Amino acid sequence: MGEKLKVSFTLANSGARAGAEIAEVYAALPAAAQEPPKRLVGWSKVWLEPGEKKNVTVEVDPKYLSIFDDQKDGWTLVPGDYVILVGGSSQDLPLKVGINLK
């Protein structure tokens, strides 16, 4: 099915206390996929000290970007423009990048 997509970003703790953040990665599939607006495709729980920044990479399995094709009786990647979104919840996704998958 292909290589895993690697989504990299920097996470920072701007607070005065140590804590953890669950960074969530979502994908919006091309319109031709006829899927909901976005789906959770990966996440990482990151521990940060006050003022600390960490580079985070989340690997996304290509199957999570695919749809089930009844005619082929298997998973297929719909070619087209995808949008990858990253944030702390599905309602707060400040990082966004478009990619084209063939």
**Domain count for the chain:** 1
Domain enclosing residue 59, as ranges:
5-101
Q: What is the residue type of 8?
A: S
Q: What is the pLDDT of residues 8-25, one digit of tens each?
A: 999 999 999 999 999 999
Average pLDDT over every residue of 46-73 = 95
pTM of the full structure: 0.90
First to last CA, the chain: 12
Average pLDDT over every residue of 41-60 = 97
Helix (H) or strand (E) holding 72, with range, is none
pLDDT above 80: residue 53: yes
Give me the CATH number covering residue 44: 2.60.40.10
In which residue are the tokens 């094709």 written? 69
